[in-house]
Amino acid sequence: MGASAIAGSLRSRLTFAQDTTPTPDPADANIKPATINGPQTLIVGGLDTRKEGEPENSDVLMLVRVDLDAKTLRVISISRDLYLEIPGFGADKITRAYDFGSKAQNGKFKAGAELMKATIEHNFAVEVDNVCLTTFTGFEQIVDAMGGVEVDNPYEVSDAEYPTIDYGYTSIDFPAGPQTLTGEQALQFCRTRHQDGDPGRVMRQQIVLRALLDDAANPDNADTLWNIVRANKKTVRTDLGPSKQLTYTLAVPGFSNDNVQFATLIDYMYADTAPDGSWIYSGVWDQIPNFVAGFLDGSINVDQTITSG
What is the per-residue pLDDT across 242-277, written as a single tens digit (0 to 9) for each? 999 999 999 999 999 999 999 999 999 999 999 999
Query: Model's pTM, two decimal places?
Result: 0.87
For domain 2-14+24-137+222-297, the CATH architecture is 2-Layer Sandwich (3.30)
- 196 vs 162: CA distance, rounded Å: 13
Predicted local distance difference test score (pLDDT) of residue 29: 57
36 vs 145, residue with greater confidence = 36
Q: What is the pLDDT of residues 67-118, one digit of tens each?
A: 999 999 999 999 999 999 999 999 999 999 999 999 999 999 999 999 999 9
Q: What is the pLDDT of residues 172-214, one digit of tens each?
A: 999 999 999 999 999 999 999 999 998 999 999 999 999 988 8
Q: What is the pLDDT of residues 65-81, one digit of tens each?
A: 999 999 999 999 999 99
**Cα 203 to Cα 94, 199, 217, 259, 293, distances in angstroms:** 20, 6, 21, 18, 22
Tell me what the pLDDT averaged over the chain comes to.
87
Residue ranges per structural domain of the chain: 2-14+24-137+222-297
